[in-house]
Amino acid sequence: MNEDLLRVRQASRCLTTVTQESINAVLTALAERTMQRQAELLAANARDLERMPDGDPRHDRLMLTPSRLADIAADLRHVATLPSPLGRVLSETTRPNGLRMQRVSVPFGVVGIIFEARPNVCFDCFALCLKAGSACVLKGGSDAECTCRAIVGLIAGVLRDHHLPETLVHLLTTHADTDRLLTAEGLVDVVIPRGSRRLIDHVRHYARVPYIETGAGVVHCYVDSDADLRKAIDIVVNAKTRRVSVCNALDCLIMHRDRLGDLPVLCRPLFDKGVFVEADEEAYAVLQPLAPALTGQACADSFGTEYLALRMAVKVVGSMDEALEHIARYGSGHSESIVTESEAAASRFLREVDAACVYHNAPTSFTDGAQFGLGAEIGISTQKLHARGPMALEALTTYKWLIRGNGQVRP
């Protein structure tokens, strides 16, 4: 029943001998074809959009437009210009017995991506996987099925024109397919789920193949007793309100008690943007008079929640220890930040907080592959195995050891 995945696995083997020039040619041709076939892609997308109820918040994520297609084509051309992540010699040594050993970056083989509505993920993931020498299996949301089919059809055509197997990209569409992918031991080398916490939980429960957890971020900003107030305001406002629906958005402001008096000034611009605050007792006393309609009392669920909305928690602490304790307990290991002018406090926070990205005097909104200078991002890992934080081409490779001898044997 996994014959389709077996074909993908077999196709992936051809990539060990394909040159980066061919790969880049495919990506460039795909960019061109995407622009030529706009009408076809938009028509398929229109069919998906029609099926979605008006006012559904996913509408915007699902929609393709001529300008979005132009962006996609530009991204494809950009990936073609990036250096290859393959064939990097990660370490090299000659042993006393004369064996020459190299550790060299190589493709995964077959990468599975499970995603929700956004059809542009098909282009992104195919491009990054191909650039990293892997075939990809794409499981898209059923809402985007027509669009995904049209995109994968387009990609298959370009592969065919370049004398490469069409099965280097494979689309799955049903829930049953998701579980088939997650249990395809020996056929899929890694699965990357991109989406809601529910999806990630499902993967954690059902996967028998390796996977990388992505996404869910319960994000804190700790305003230390030695914080610069101006920086704190800029950082907190940016982290909370730049885009509320993304995983790096702020969920909980932790305020040192010494600075409780600054809390109204700090929260004023948040209230102005309509942010609702779930405040602990001390913070409530200070904020409620300022914005009665936008201040509530924190409950048990206020902490450890990823809000993804104009809403956040505020917690007052008496020391760095308490702040670290709160983050260790409620953080999800995604992004955490401290605002302070004290080098000692900053060093301690950077050392002791256990998260993918730890910031000093900068907002967590920077947690993003492009902002990190990684070129192109396939997701943000919240696990510690293999890759942590923004993942780009390098994270889509593994390595192998090459050992060259001359007939040596082991005593």
Nearest approach, Cβ of residue 338 and a second copy (Å)? 10
**Position 268, amino acid:** R
Structure tokens at 87: 């064939």
Interaction pattern, residues 308-347, with a second copy; x per rule: CB under 8 A: --------------------x-----------------x-
What single DSSP character describes residue 304?
Answer: T
Least distance in angstroms from the C-beta of 356 to a second copy: 6
Q: Which of 175, 208, 257, 273 binds a second copy (CB under 8 A)?
A: 208
Produce one character per residue of 264-287: b if its CB has 16 or more CB atoms within 10 Å, e if not. eebbeebbeeebbbbbbebbbebb
Q: What are the distances in angstroms from CA 393 to CA 13, 134, 366?
A: 19, 11, 19
Question: Quick check: 407 binds a second copy (CB under 8 A)?
Answer: yes
Phi-psi region of 391 (alpha: psi -120 to 50; beta: other; left: phi over 0): beta
State yes or no: residue 81 binds a second copy (CB under 8 A): no
CB of 229 to a second copy, least distance (A): 11
DSSP output for 194-258: ES-HHHHHHHHHH--S-B--B-----EEEE-TT--HHHHHHHHHHHHHS-TTSTTS--EEEEEGG
> For residue 331, which of 243, 227, 221 has the smallest C-alpha distance?
221
Q: For residues 228 and 322, which CB has a smaller minimum distance to a second copy in the complex?
A: 228
Which residues in 105-164 contact a second copy (CB under 8 A)? 106, 108-109
Measured from the Cβ of residue 15, the count of other Cβ atoms closer than 10 Å reads 21
Under the criterion CB under 8 A, does residue 167 sit at the interface with a second copy? Answer: no
Q: Does 47 bind a second copy (CB under 8 A)?
A: no
Nearest approach in angstroms of CB 259 to a second copy is 16
x-or-dash string of contact with a second copy, 255-274, rule CB under 8 A: --------------------
* Backbone torsions φ then ψ of 18, nearest 5 degrees: -85, 140
Cβ neighbours around 393 below 10 Å, total: 24
> What is the C-alpha to C-alpha distance for residues 258 and 204, in angstroms, rounded to an integer?
42
Task: Tell me how many degrees the CA angle 285-304-296 measures, rounded to the nearest 5.
Answer: 25
Cα–Cα dist 91/283, whole Å: 53
The DSSP code for 401 is E
209 within 8 A of 190, measured Cβ to Cβ:
yes
Asked if 365 is part of the footprint of a second copy (rule: CB under 8 A), the reply reads yes
- Rank residues 105 and 147 by Cβ distance to a second copy and give the closer one: 105
Q: How far is the CB of 410 from a second copy (least distance, A)?
A: 4
Q: CB of residue 188 vs a second copy: minimum separation in angstroms?
A: 11
Query: What residues numbered 269-308 form the site for a second copy, per CB under 8 A?
Result: none
- Residue 354 lies near a second copy (rule: CB under 8 A): yes
- Please tell me the count of residues contacting a second copy according to CB under 8 A: 67
175 near a second copy (CB under 8 A): no
The structure tokens listed for 3 are 């014959």
Q: Identify whether the C-beta of residue 221 lies closer than 8 Å to the C-beta of residue 353.
A: no
Residues 184-203 that bind a second copy (CB under 8 A): 185, 189-190
408 binds a second copy (CB under 8 A): yes
Q: Which stretch, 253-261, 294-302, 312-320, 386-394, contacts a second copy (CB under 8 A)?
A: 386-394
Q: Which stretch binds a second copy (CB under 8 A): 32-40, 46-54, 172-180, 403-411?
A: 403-411
Q: Would you count residue 238 as binding a second copy (CB under 8 A)?
A: yes
Name the site residues for a second copy (rule: CB under 8 A).
Answer: 13, 16-17, 93, 95, 99, 101, 106, 108-109, 185, 189-190, 204-205, 208, 210, 212-213, 228, 230-231, 234-235, 237-238, 242, 328, 346, 350-352, 354-363, 365-366, 371-373, 383-386, 388-390, 398-410
